[in-house]
Every structure is written in structure tokens, then in C-alpha cells.
């Protein structure tokens, strides 16, 4: 998976290549992170990437010409057969929410070009004619799109085969499985008077699986009942949820 990041602050991404899981994936060639400094595509001698708004108003706007040139160069540098399958994403608080469906869609691409938005926003022609996706990581405004791009890169990389141990690790995730995760415990068996549930130490794998499933269902019902509308539920899941007072639709 190739990530090409168009940014005014390329150095902000250095730590991603070095740390933990993504650092290992970069060194192992499973993912590549290439940063492109948008200012290098500015044509004036001050390398200007922003300008005043037509019509007046506070805040500067990202100019279209350096961004178009940077994206076109990035596309020209990837194999021709991969170009049309490569999303060009803009990070912006106006975009679609990054959720697991969007992460899965992006992870199926050969690579992603991410434009990190800045200032008051981007010239509308970038939206009109350059990008395929506009992505928000939540309803709040960051000082720039770099952190949002890192969130996208991190979430998508986990679905690149072999980046995170085995495929099971990501399939059993909270959210990915459609439900929140069951409680996890490690040693010590008793800590400050709080004991690990006996069933997890019983060695009875069928009982443990049932307990975990029920804990996931209960936690999801309590904290994110909206997920139950789309989670893949078995009949016994539905019976268990009904015993907790869930009134969701039956098959």
C-alpha cells in the first residue's frame, strides 16, 4: 500500500515511518509513505501555497495551482494501471466521516494520495475537479489536515495483509466485527482486589467464547446500541439481547 501525502509540513510524518507497527511495516516494505511538499509546486519565488479569498473574508485559501501540479506529478509517478484505482483524498471537516466501511474501501486500493487541507480551506476547484474523496475524522476543526491524514494512514494500514500480526487480529477488532470488544484481562489474576472472571481461567473454550460474545453484545447495547442495527447477529445473540431488554428487529 502506497501512501502519497501532499502537505505543507512533510516533516510531521517522519515519526510514522519510525514508530511501532507502522515503522515495522514501512521497513518491511508492506507500506510506503511518501511525503510531497506542496510548496515545491508553487511557481512564484516565495513558494506561496495560499492566497486571499475572492469576495473578501477572514482566513487564507489553499491555492489550486500547486495542489493540482502536486497531485498530477504524484499520479504520474505511480504505475499507469493503478492510477484510476488510486483515490485522491482531501482531509477536511466537511468530508464524509472516516468509518470502518470507508477504511475497508481505501484499504482495497493499491495506494492513496492524501491532500492535507490547511488555512480557512481549499480553493473549490480542488474539490470540483481533483479529488475522489473528502474525509473528516470528526466534528471538530483541527489546525491542519496532517493529523487527520495520519489517522487515515494508521487505520487503513491495519488492513494491509501482514501489517498487524494475523488477519484474526483485525477481524476481531471492536467495530470491524460490528460489535464492541469484550473485556480483556492479562496477569495478574488478582489486582488490587479486582479478580479476573473465573470463566476465563476455566480452560473451557466453548464457555469462554459464549461469555465473550455475550459481553460484546451487552457492551454494545449499553454504549453503542446503533451498531446493533447492522451487526451480524445470530438467533442466540438476539435471544440474549432480548433478555437484556433490547427491542431490535428479529429476522
155: its cell numbers: 487505520
Strand 88-97 with 133-136, pairing: parallel
114 contributes a contact to ligand ADE by CB under 6 A: no
54 contributes a contact to ligand ADE by CB under 6 A: no
How far is residue 201 from each of residues 85, 172, 186, 194, 207, measured CA to CA in Å? 48, 21, 11, 14, 11
Binding residue (CB under 6 A) for ligand ADE from 23, 28, 57, 138: 138
Residue nearest ligand ADE, Cβ-based: 148
Asked if 73 and 41 touch (Cβ cutoff 8 Å), the reply is yes
Binding residue (CB under 6 A) for ligand ADE from 136, 157, 216, 220: 136
Choose between 93 and 110: whose C-beta lies nearer to ligand ADE.
Answer: 93
Choose between 143 and 235: whose C-beta lies nearer to ligand ADE.
Answer: 143
Asked if 182 and 213 touch (Cβ cutoff 8 Å), the reply is yes
User: Which positions from 116 to 135 touch ligand ADE by CB under 6 A, shown as an x/- string?
Assistant: -x------------------
Question: Which phi and psi angles does 244 have, rounded to 5°?
Answer: -95, 0
Rounded to whole angstroms, the Cα distance separating 54 from 16 reads 37
Contacts of residue 172, Cβ cutoff 8 Å, sequence gap at least 6: 181
91 contributes a contact to ligand ADE by CB under 6 A: yes
Q: Which segments within 76-166 are labelled E, that is strand?
A: 88-97, 111-116, 121-122, 133-136
Total residues at interface with ligand ADE (CB under 6 A): 12
Binding residue (CB under 6 A) for ligand ADE from 9, 51, 93, 224: 93
Which part of the chain contacts ligand ADE (CB under 6 A), choosing from 33-41, 77-85, 139-147, 165-173?
139-147
Binding residue (CB under 6 A) for ligand ADE from 141, 184, 194, 206: 141
Asked if 52 and 81 touch (Cβ cutoff 8 Å), the reply is no
The residues binding ligand ADE (CB under 6 A) are 91-93, 117, 136-138, 140-142, 145, 148
Amino acid at each position: 500500500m502506497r501512501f502519497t501525502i501532499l502537505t505543507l509540513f512533510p516533516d510531521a510524518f517522519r515519526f510514522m515511518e519510525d514508530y511501532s507497527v507502522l515503522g515495522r511495516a514501512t521497513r518491511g516494505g508492506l507500506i510506503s509513505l511518501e511525503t510531497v511538499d506542496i510548496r515545491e509546486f508553487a511557481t512564484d519565488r516565495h513558494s506561496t501555497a495560499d492566497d486571499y479569498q475572492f469576495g473578501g473574508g477572514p482566513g487564507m485559501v489553499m491555492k489550486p495551482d500547486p495542489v493540482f501540479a502536486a497531485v498530477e506529478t504524484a499520479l504520474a509517478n505511480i504505475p499507469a494501471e493503478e492510477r484510476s484505482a488510486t483515490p485522491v483524498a482531501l482531509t477536511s471537516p466537511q468530508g464524509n466521516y472516516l468509518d470502518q466501511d470507508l477504511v475497508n474501501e481505501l484499504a482495497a486500493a493499491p495506494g492513496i494520495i492524501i491532500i492535507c487541507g490547511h488555512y480557512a480551506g481549499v480553493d473549490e476547484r480542488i474539490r470540483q475537479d481533483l479529488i475522489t474523496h473528502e474525509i473528516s475524522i470528526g466534528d471538530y476543526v483541527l489546525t491542519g489536515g496532517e493529523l487527520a491524514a495520519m489517522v487515515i494512514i494508521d487505520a487503513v494500514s491495519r488492513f494491509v495483509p501482514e501489517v498487524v500480526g494475523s488477519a484474526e487480529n483485525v477481524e476481531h477488532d471492536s467495530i470491524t466485527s460490528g460489535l464492541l470488544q469484550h473485556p480483556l484481562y492479562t496477569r495478574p489474576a488478582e489486582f488490587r482486589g479486582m479478580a479476573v472472571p473465573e470463566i476465563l481461567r476455566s480452560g473451557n473454550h466453548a464457555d469462554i467464547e459464549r461469555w465473550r460474545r455475550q459481553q460484546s453484545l451487552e457492551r454494545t447495547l449499553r454504549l453503542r446500541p446503533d451498531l446493533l442495527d447492522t451487526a451480524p447477529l445470530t438467533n442466540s445473540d438476539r435471544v440474549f439481547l432480548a433478555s437484556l431488554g433490547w427491542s431490535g428487529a428479529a429476522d
